[in-house]
Chain A
Amino acid sequence: QKEVEQNSGPLSVPEGAIASLNCTYSDRGSQSFFWYRQYSGKSPELIMSIYSNGDKEDGRFTAQLNKASQYVSLLIRDSQPSDSATYLCAVNTQGAQKLVFGQGTRLTINP
């Protein structure tokens, strides 16, 4: 079992709709959770961090964390074509200095 799993996609969403991206992780000791956006040919850009159960909102983005079920999700409201990218989920275990990344979900927003 991979440590961090994401559906590779592609996930296709119409413009203006809500895009929902999911990630599950295997290590129950994980403490910190991150979403990165990566455009083709570019480096990953941190867009959300979440550390406690529940929702965290930042503009059109909402991160949701459920430690009991070991999943973290990212919702993008009012999706725009500029949101088309690969989204990487990353998880940090307590005391560990490195992140474990998922393979990424490719998201396409259709005008």
Chain B
Amino acid sequence: DVKVTQSSRYLVKRTGEKVFLECVQDMDHENMFWYRQDPGLGLRLIYFSYDVKMKEKGDIPEGYSVSREKKERFSLILESASTNQTSMYLCASRFNYEQYFGPGTRLTVT
């Protein structure tokens, strides 16, 4: 079974803090993705990575960065959290075109 885990289910941070969201997959997948999901806006791609140290911007990369130092781990970084980054963050990894999602992190920025 495909297993994607995320470091936290719920997170509360203050405006201006640096926030790290971590995602780990145990299937040796090359491709990993970070999305955010907001009511009425659907799933939006923030960044994705197709190999270690390789990354590409998605549709809404502003205010975010990513790190992929090891194949199994893909981190999303909010450099200076803002209230408009309050959202559900979803990590996914891909195998044979199929994407499998982690449980999600609900981030609240106050």
Whole-angstrom CA separation of A104 from B58 in the bound complex:
20
Please determine whether A44 and B101 come into contact, CB atoms closer than 8 angstroms: yes
Q: Which residue in B43, B45, B97, B101 is a CB contact (below 8 Å) of A45?
A: B101
Whole-angstrom CA separation of A36 from B99 in the bound complex:
10
Please determine whether A43 and B98 come into contact, CB atoms closer than 8 angstroms: no
Interface-forming stretch among A11-19, A69-77, A95-103?
A95-103
What is the number of residues of chain A that contact chain B, defined by CB distance less than 8 Å?
21
What is the number of residues of chain B that contact chain A, defined by CB distance less than 8 Å?
19
B25 beta carbon closer than 8 Å to chain A: no
Residue of B whose beta carbon sits closest to that of A34: B98
Known interface pairs A97-B50, A98-B58. Does A43 touch B97 (Cβ–Cβ under 8 Å)?
Answer: no
Please determine whether A92 and B58 come into contact, CB atoms closer than 8 angstroms: no
A32 beta carbon closer than 8 Å to chain B: yes
Chain B residue numbers with a CB within 8 Å of A104 are 42
Q: Which of A43, A45, A103 gathers most chain B CB within 10 Å?
A: A43
Please determine whether B103 and A46 come into contact, CB atoms closer than 8 angstroms: no
**Closest beta carbon of chain A to B64's beta carbon, Å:** 16
Chain A residue numbers with a CB within 8 Å of B90 are 43-44
**Closest beta carbon of chain B to A65's beta carbon, Å:** 14
Please determine whether A98 and B97 come into contact, CB atoms closer than 8 angstroms: no
B residues adjacent to A (C-beta < 8 A): 31, 33, 42-43, 45, 48, 50, 56, 58, 90, 94, 97-104
New A-B contacts (6) at CB < 8 Å, excluding given A34-B99, A43-B101, A98-B45: A46-B101, A90-B99, A97-B48, A97-B50, A97-B56, A103-B42
